[in-house]
Amino acid sequence: AVANYTLAHTKGRLLLLGLLPRGDGSRKLHRLCPPRCSDDGTPFSSFMPAVDKVNDALREFVGPELKGIYGESRVRYVDCG
């Protein structure tokens, strides 16, 4: 919604950055469970599945949707992972 609004109401360009992976999953994830647990009730072992899910959604949104409406030159997606 923010990306769409920004492109619709400005003449500028937009660069969307993919999430970078975290390296502290082994220390943090056990404290998030519950409620953030795997299907078997144990803590997740990594943030990577969530990071990949968000980055895949951003990539799909930028490609056909935003570039289709605003053109190739106004919006880009960058993933450093």
Answer whether residue 73 shows pLDDT above 80. Answer: yes
**Which residue reads 């450093």 in tokens?**
80
**Which residue reads 């997606």 in tokens?**
77
From residue 23, give the alpha-carbon distance in Å to each of 8, 12, 27, 48, 72. 36, 34, 9, 9, 33
Tell me the Cα Rg of the chain: 17
| Of 59, 72, 65, the residue nearest 19 (C-alpha) | 59
Q: What is the mean pLDDT of residues 59-67?
A: 87
The answer to pTM > 0.95 is no
Split at pLDDT 50, 70, 90, the class of 80 is: confident
Kindly give the residue spans of alpha helices, DSSP state H, lying in the chain. Answer: 2-9, 25-28, 48-60, 67-70
The confidence score (pLDDT) of residue 81 equals: 65
Answer whether residue 56 shows pLDDT above 90. Answer: yes
